[in-house]
A and B are shown apart, each in its own frame.
Chain A
Amino acid sequence: MSVNAVERILWEFGNNPELIGRFRSSPDGYLSSYHVTDEEKRALLETDLKALAEQGVSTLLTMSVWPMLNGPEGMPFAYLEHMNGGELKAPPGA
């Protein structure tokens, strides 16, 4: 199942961040050994974790991998903005 494969990819990123570099240097080659769909490839390439979460990927993984893909300074607000479709009405503690 694709969700399982995406969860594996994200989990492996989280446990071995060096893999992110390999993925970025050759996305098609990297993903060729995983059972992912074209849409999932797009979402991974564009860091569209919202789309992946909507497909059932664990948000524990999307949250933990986001700062590895986009930089820790984006947590939590940029991440939440992304997960809310580009709008963050009520950030935590505001």
Chain B
Amino acid sequence: MADIVAGFCLPHDPLMASSPKINEQAKADIVFEAFEDVNRRIQALDVDTVIVIGSDHYTNFGPHCLPQYLIAVGDADGPVEPWLGIERYPVPVDTALATHIMDFGFDHGFDWAVAKDITLDHGTMIPIHLAAKPQQTGIKSIPVYTAAGVEPLLRSRRAYEVGQMIGKAVATYDGATRVAILGTGGISHWVGTAEMGKVNESFDRLVLDKVMAGDVEALIAMSDEYLIETAGNGSLEIRNWIMAMGAVGATGAELICYEPIPEWICGMGVVDLKLSA
């Protein structure tokens, strides 16, 4: 039986790759070190596969087709954005486990959209590249994309349910795979709007407090209107954190770092989720 042995929430800010040097370098370095810390924790737990939950940014998907939630089950490479400064490379996908999760969903009321071959954007590639580091570790990925940035948005409640389903699917997998869940994005940020560069630290700390208390219902209760008004359209990505909390049955979390970084247009939070017994 496969096991979820860890879960993390962390940003997928593309500016970490494209603009690693900023005026407030000490704050940036704390975030980079937090990603290194996540990588060390993953390796210490002998993780074989990371399930990486990220948002589409109107990059992979367009007005012709907008999945609510999608799982990549075949080949993947990335990143798609040349401006990230990361040379595109093949990303190893755990196709057997991904296919099992896909089928488990189909059999339990979750109609996944499916990618058989996909070039990943920063929404999954930043955490894969900087936290899983497949080129060095050989850790496989299962990219999951959510409608967390482009309307119509995945409902937060449904995000939680999809997460729970992922957790059950992993538990019913025959392989002896050790799995970590990465819920990515957020926290406060305004993407492409006139306010871009603003960060709402008090909101970010409220979200972190709720995650550390294991109070996922408080996060689900945050309406999209409230999120956009209070913490920008980028904060809608906390549904990726909610999905991760659902997958691991999070009862709380350890804060690894939080840094508000206007130059990276984002409140950068990294947490290690406490798993349910």
Measuring CB to CB, which residues of chain A are less than 8 angstroms from any residue of chain B? 4, 7-8, 11-12, 14-15, 50, 53, 58-64, 72, 76, 80, 83-85, 90-93
Contact = CB atoms under 8 A, between A and B. Distances in A.
Contacts of B109: none
Given A11-B62, A58-B150, A93-B263, 7 more contacts: A53-B193, A60-B57, A60-B58, A60-B192, A63-B196, A80-B197, A90-B197
Contact of B197 (A4, A72, A91): A91
A93 B194 contact: no
Contacts of B59: 14, 64
Contacts of A93: 22-24, 197, 262-263
A interface, by DSSP: helix, strand, loop or mixed? helix
**How many B residues are at the interface, by size bracket?**
20 to 34
A15 B62 contact: yes
Q: Which 5 A-B pairs have the closest CB atoms?
A: A92-B197, A63-B192, A59-B192, A93-B263, A83-B194
A8 B62 contact: yes
A92 B196 contact: yes
Contact of B58 (A53, A64, A84): A64
Contact of A92 (B64, B150, B233, B265): B265
Contacts of B191: 59-60, 63
19 contacts: A7-B63, A11-B63, A58-B151, A59-B193, A59-B233, A60-B58, A60-B191, A61-B58, A61-B192, A64-B59, A72-B83, A80-B196, A83-B192, A84-B194, A85-B194, A92-B196, A92-B197, A93-B24, A93-B197
Contacts, number: 66
B interface SS class: loop
B196 A4 contact: no
B134 interface: no
Contacts of A60: 57-58, 149-150, 191-192
Given A91-B197, A92-B197, A92-B265, A8 B64 contact: yes
B140 to A, nearest CB: 28
Contacts of A59: 191-193, 233
Contacts of A15: 62
A80 to B, nearest CB: 6
Contacts of A80: 194, 196-197
Interface in B148-192: 149-151, 191-192
Contacts of B57: 60, 64
A4 B58 CA distance: 13
A33 B197 CA distance: 37
Contacts of B22: 93
Contacts of B263: 92-93
Nearest to B196: A80
A37 B1 CA distance: 57
Nearest to B232: A59
A8 B63 CA distance: 6
Interface in B225-277: 233, 262-263, 265
